[in-house]
Amino acid sequence: MIYFLGVISVLILFLISVIHFYWAFGGEWGICGVIPTKTNKDKVINPPIIATVFVGLFLVLFALLYAEKLQIISMKFLPIFILNYGVYIIASIFLLRAIGDFKYVGFFKKIKNTQFAKNDTMYFSPLCLFLGIVGMLI
């Protein structure tokens, strides 16, 4: 069961990375509801293209580390520290993201009436919780 959930996590991480690359190279689909806002129009952050590319790259790396822990691929060229503890670090990042910053993102956010906040409550935070728990299990 954990293997199956791990494979689902790897696929999700690859899909999310593709979406980030799509946005970085000018795609607009879905962009309006994924950036935290103070109001429905006032963005909290305005990420530059390079940041979006880096997020996409990190998501690919996260997927590869999950796949390595599931023994789908072998990445023995990585330092032993990364192979032993990388997935725990990644899972912790996702769990912290699910908890949030207590203002704009996560389960404990205060701003709850924006489009992003609704998407975060319904999709993003539960997904981060799932990825974090599965990461800890694998």
* pLDDT level of residue 40 (50, 70, 90 thresholds): low
Using alpha carbons only, how large is the chain's radius of gyration in Å? Answer: 16
Helices and strands, number each (H, E), in the chain? 5, 0
Q: How far is it, in rounded angstroms, from Cα 137 to Cα 1?
A: 10
Q: How far is it, in rounded angstroms, from Cα 18 to Cα 110?
A: 30
What is the per-residue pLDDT for 35? Answer: 84
Average pLDDT over residues 114-122: 89
* pLDDT level of residue 47 (50, 70, 90 thresholds): confident
What is the per-residue pLDDT for 30? Answer: 78
For the cut 90, the answer to whether the pLDDT of residue 98 exceeds it is: yes
Q: How far is it, in rounded angstroms, from Cα 117 to Cα 56?
A: 22
Q: How far is it, in rounded angstroms, from Cα 16 to Cα 126?
A: 14
Q: How far is it, in rounded angstroms, from Cα 94 to Cα 62?
A: 11
